[in-house]
Structure 1
């Protein structure tokens, strides 16, 4: 039978979020109901509230979540009731052209629940990234659930569902950072610091953190940055080259999503280096550069979607590294809050006061 739970909803562009009753329908054949234990407050949720993704209001926000499978559909085989899972928004199908070509991290047919969650009056909700986890429970496709070690702290584990995975994957998967590489990361919020942690895991020799906020640069050092550059007082390109024997970094990861910082990344890399764009630009942003500059630099220009991750491969591995003390995921959790604190968490995020606020249920 359907059930009614609490959820955080954005009803209109820019309007404060509300806690309302939402209806979870019976799961379809391949759907599962997950009792949410924790969910991070991600900048993407704020993008939804501000109308920066699309205008399919009302949105059920939240997507960086961990919880326990409670009810499963008749044909579910991927998980079972009682499993501790991290939710993911890339539920690979195994059948599309990307999957069949051995590139499932580009899957074009990611699974979502077959039935909509609704408001009490029957209005259909648009769940953020197909998840909608600022709620006591949520309905997702079975492939959106990745089983991980149940001893992991849900507030920590859930962060792999988006931002932390995006950053770590930008370094390790998209950027292919290798032992001895030099890496620069522009933008040291949650995604950028995760990229720094990923570069450290991969064995980078030099890790340069770039930001305008001294507090964020200090955070970056805690995640493994060997050098910091204050972009408000230093020329980023010149300073990165000074720190890399005047040749530029092997990999530069742009975690801001703006044309001016992407240009810094482009010119701060080695001639045959790699630029990884993991910061999310807005649709109105454009890039104006001399085409000869693109021609005269080798290497690679890449965009990183969700850190080019495979949840079934990457989530359990990263949780194990966290459990071994080799990946400090707990440092991303700045504060633990309740459902009624989400609006305040958006303001704290916008002010740069937190890496992650995490709703704990």
Structure 2
């Protein structure tokens, strides 16, 4: 029998979000209902509200979530009711060309729940990233549930579901940061600071944080940045070179996703260095026109990082355990805890750069 729960819904493009009563059906085959304990407010949710993803309104927002499995559908294995899980939007299929090549973090056929959550009117909801967790309960594909150590707080664990994992993975999985490397991170919001934390965790020697906001640069030091550069007052490329013996960084991570920051990243890397694009560009943006000789003469790698190239079943439990050991300060990402009806206010704070993460706590 479908359950009535409260949830945050974007009814139309650019409209303030509202708390609505929605219907969550019983799980079908391969599905699970999860009682949500906490869910972070991510910029992607704001993109959905603004129509920046698609126009499939109304959207059930929220996707950086942790909670407890309440019910499972037919054929579900690997999770049982009562399991504490982090929700992920990469439920790998195991059978696409990427999975068959042993690279499931590039799965081309990730799946979501087939049954639909609806408004009381019966209108179907489009859950953000197939999750929709600004809700007391949500319906997901069972593969979107990743079990982790229940000793971790849900406010912290849920953040691995998107932004924090994207940043840490950009450094470790995509960028291949290792002991002694020099790393520069351009853009010190939640994803950029997570990349800094990932670089420190991997043993990087020099970690350079770049932003235009001194508040964010101060936050970056809390996550392990050894140097900071204000792009308003310093030449980013030349300063990074000065801090790396005149060579440039081994790995430069663009956590902004604009043509000008990508070009800075390109020229701020060492010969044979790596550029990682993890900031999400908008559709109209184009790459800078650079002489082809610049690509040939510098070598190295230019990479994009999808979800930190993570495999949730491998990475989420490991990162939670590192946090519980005191080696990964995930709690520092939580700026404030809020109620469900404060999501619209949290969007404004996020847009103004006043928070790293607001987290809805149920």
The TM-score bracket by the shorter chain reads: over 0.9
Structure 2 match to 1:356: 357
Q: How much has 1:294 moved relative to structure 2?
A: 1.9
Structure 1 alignment gaps of length 5 or more? none
Listed as ranges, the matches of 1:32-47 within 5 Å are 32-47=32-47
User: What is the TM-score of this pair, normalised by structure 1?
Assistant: 0.99
Whole-Å separation in 1 of the counterparts to 2:16 and 2:266: 38
Q: How much has 1:212 moved relative to structure 2?
A: 0.4
Equivalenced residues, count = 361
Structure 1 match to 2:103: 103
Q: Does 1:160 align with 2:160?
A: yes
Whole-Å separation in 1 of the counterparts to 2:51 and 2:296: 36
SS in 1 for 2:210: strand
Structure 2 match to 1:321: 322
Listed as ranges, the matches of 1:134-283 within 5 Å are 134-283=134-283
Q: How much has 1:288 moved relative to structure 2?
A: 2.6
Structure 2 match to 1:94: 94
SS in 2 for 1:247: coil
Residues 119-166 of structure 1, C-alpha deviation per residue, up to 9 Å, x if partnerless?
Answer: 111111110000000000000010000000111100000000000000
Structure 2 alignment gaps of length 5 or more? none
Whole-Å separation in 2 of the counterparts to 1:180 and 1:8: 45
SS in 2 for 1:20: strand
Note if contact 2:263-2:288 (Cα within 8 Å) is conserved in structure 1.
no
Q: How much has 1:292 moved relative to structure 2?
A: 2.5
Q: How much has 1:80 moved relative to structure 2?
A: 0.3
RMSD of aligned C-alpha atoms? 0.6
Residues 52-96 of structure 1, C-alpha deviation per residue, up to 9 Å, x if partnerless?
Answer: 111111100000000000011021112100000000000111111
SS in 1 for 2:229: strand
Note if contact 2:260-2:288 (Cα within 8 Å) is conserved in structure 1.
no
Q: How much has 1:36 moved relative to structure 2?
A: 0.2
SS in 1 for 2:29: coil
Residues 284-318 of structure 1, C-alpha deviation per residue, up to 9 Å, x if partnerless?
Answer: 11123222222222000000000000000000000
Q: Does 1:10 align with 2:10?
A: yes
Whole-Å separation in 2 of the counterparts to 1:53 and 1:259: 20
Whole-Å separation in 2 of the counterparts to 1:285 and 1:52: 14
